[in-house]
Amino acid sequence: MIVNVIPAKKLPRNLSALSYKIPDALEAKIKVGQLAAISLRNSFTSGAISEIKKIKKTAYPLKYIAGLINEKPIFTQNQLKLFRELAKYYHTSASLFIHFNLPKLIKKDWRKLAPEIALIKSCPKTKPSYYWWRNQNEKNKHYLNLIKKNKGQLLIVVPRINDISALAKELKLKSSDYTPIHRQLPRPENFKIWLVASRQPTALFIGTRSSLFYPFINLKTIIIDEEHSSDHKQSDMNPRYEVSIVAKKLSQIAQNKIIYSSTSPSLASYYELKLKSPEFKREIITSDLNNELTKKNFSFISERLYAQIKRTLNSNKSIFLFVNKKGEATSTSCQDCGFTFTCPSCTLPLIKTGSQFVCYYCGRQEDMPPFCPKCSGPNFHSLGLGIQKVEANLKKLFPAANIIRLDKDIKKLQTTNYKLPTTNYQLPTTNYQLPTIFLGTEYALDKINWVNIGLLGIINADSLWQHTEFMSAETAYQLLIKLLTLAPKNAKIIIQTFHPDHYLIKSIVKNKPEIFYQSELTFRQKFNYPPLTNLVKLSYLDKSEAKSKKEAEKTYDQIKNYKKIEANSPLPILRRKIRGQYKFNIILKLKNLDDLKALANIIPNNWLIDIHPRKLLD
């Protein structure tokens, strides 16, 4: 008898399982899903038995497995099938998923496993559905109704670990009502949850993306909360997978129901599911910063926003002013007319590098002109406001106001009359002076009590989408919608912008999401970007910049002539170095991901492959 074993150790991407002989004494005990001890490269490791073959003779000699680590299966057949499917999809080895998801168990705990982890039972096949919401209370009611009606296991996948407790609090769940799943749980606790998933046919789980790999025995429904979130993609390490893809693969195997949920669906879901937006009504005011320049107002606060801040303070309400701080300037504009320098080839913002403008999408370079091509003005400035500058400006405009700055960089939060000792806190509802001006980045959104907010101001909306990444407008739109959702119904909303006619701003002001989605789809189609095509990012890293570039160019020369694959020439990432290594990316565009198989023997194993990358310049 022969078994195929998927080692819990990284293998080359074209090798997922290894064959071993079974000693006669173990033949009656062998089951798919068991963990076996195997000899690999002159050392011992563990691996999951994925297939059993009743073959006595082989064309080449095989090693025997060294023994069974456990007699009871650790992985379900559905899990193993999911790992194999994902390995094919992401062009990696199934062994990576075994290594990534194998519980680090205490040896004595193995005997506590259920007699056998059975196959997940099928439920009626349904296509993914979408819950598009804007009201938190309505969302809570909808989720509680789904939980109440569910007759099996239900998994809610959230983007971040702190979202688990936050969602449970919103739904008013007790700790006994649900089981949390995330990577930072202690080993014994993680193993207990593994057992709950494999034993308890009716249960509620709330977890991060890794929760999809647990051995559920009766998983009926998967809810992907904040479906649009970039945190649903594992981008910083292998395997580089996305929650929506894993959920779909799992649904094909186990026939469970998938529900996407968000205030602002991803463009991919909008396109794939042909979504129609629900009606939303919210009064939103824009302040055209071009008019402020005409009036010689060069501060960060427009006259309209200034007047509304004064009215809000006088009405004893608090204010939240949002500033997008990303560290680097994201674009360069004319200070006289607001003109933004963009690449003639792909229309995306140019990055100022010394005395030149560079487009990191197409590689175009040009000298920075001394004057604006639109108005001939000599004054240029970089967008991407620093929050400290805005804070200083506010203190001059409102010297008596209580101002709290909230961003990741601040170590001690200073206000006029109050000092907060740490950045890791939840602001109390009554323990600070009202009215207050909160000035914050995205970091601040879960740090304040929104009930007391009477005004939401966006200091410069343009800086949110004027990035060189192809998804910049989409992520900007989603962030703005999140801010609007957090603001109380009666709060005033003012968005400052140099581009009030941009489709993103128009969509939000007119309460018509379809304006943004259709316009963004037109842009993506013009330049052949997802969701109308598939992107694959190939990356090579080396301590030597010259070697990294040479290897990237060598691989590019081998793949550039494939007819079904459009390959961009290698470009360095914006930061150039990651952890002391120079990184070059090759971006592939292809209609069918199956066409990537043609490059299986061309792309070396020491290259990184990222299917559906969200960022191309990282």
pLDDT digits (tens, 9 = 90+) for 305-363: 999 999 999 999 999 999 986 433 457 888 888 898 887 765 667 877 667 787 755 66
What backbone phi and psi angles, to 5 degrees, belong to 201?
-70, -20
Q: Do 103 and 162 fall within a single domain?
A: no
Please report whether residue 278 resides in a domain. no
267, part of any domain: no
Residues 6+ apart with CB under 8 A from 606: 540
Is 393 within a domain?
yes
Token pair in block for residue 283: 């009064």
Q: Do 565 and 495 belong together in one domain? A: no
Which single residue is written with the structure tokens 């025995």?
A: 217
Neighbours of 14 (CB within 10 A): 12
Q: 557: how many CB neighbours lie within 10 A of its CB?
A: 12
Is there a domain that residue 422 lies in?
yes
pLDDT digits (tens, 9 = 90+) for 442-454: 989 988 899 999 9
Give the residue carrying structure tokens 């061309």.
602
Closest C-alpha among 468, 470, 523, 475 to residue 357? 468
Q: What is the CATH number of the domain that holds 15?
A: 3.40.1440.60
Same domain, 342 and 470: yes
Weakest mean pLDDT among 91-100, 206-215, 476-485: 91-100
- Asked if residue 464 and residue 405 are part of one domain, the reply reads yes
**Residue 501 sits in the same domain as residue 556:** no
Whether omega before 73 lies within 30 degrees of 0, making that bond cis, reads no
* Distance (Å, whole) CA 2 – CA 61: 12
Q: Tell me the residue range of the domain where 379 lies.
A: 285-514
585: left (phi over 0), alpha (psi -120 to 50) or beta: beta
Question: In the structure, what pLDDT confidence band is assigned to residue 72 with cuts at 50, 70 and 90?
Answer: confident
Tell me what pLDDT residue 29 has: 92
- Distance (Å, rounded) from C-alpha 442 to C-alpha 440? 7
SS3 of residue 571 by DSSP: strand
Identify the top-confidence range among 31-40, 103-112, 267-276. Answer: 267-276
pLDDT one-digit tens code per residue, 493-543? 999 999 999 999 999 999 999 999 999 999 999 999 999 999 999 999 999
In a domain, 487, yes or no: yes
490 shares a domain with 540: no
pLDDT of residue 456: 99
What confidence score (pLDDT) does residue 485 get? 95
Note the pTM of the prediction, 2 decimals: 0.84
Amino acid sitting at position 257: K
In the prediction, which pLDDT does 108 show?
43
Same domain, 8 and 52: yes
Q: Name the region of 204 (left: φ>0; alpha: ψ -120 to 50; beta: rest).
A: beta
Do 251 and 392 share a domain, yes or no? no
pLDDT of residue 16: 84
Pair 148, 59 in one domain: no
Tell which wins on pLDDT, 253 or 111: 253
- Please report, for residues 292, 299, 377, the alpha-carbon distance to residue 388 in angstroms, rounded to integers and kept in the order given: 21, 13, 27
Q: Are 165 and 83 in contact (CB under 8 A)?
A: no
Number of domains in the chain: 4
**pLDDT tens digits along 539-549:** 999 999 999 99
Last residue of a domain, one of 452, 482, 514: 514
Q: How many residues does the chain have?
A: 618
Q: State whether 58 and 146 are in the same domain.
A: no
Residues 306 and 366 in one domain: yes
Instruction: Name every residue whose Cβ is closer than 8 Å to that of residue 192 and which is 6 or more positions away in sequence.
Output: none
Instruction: Return the CA Rg of the chain.
Output: 27
Say whether both 316 and 392 belong to one domain.
Answer: yes
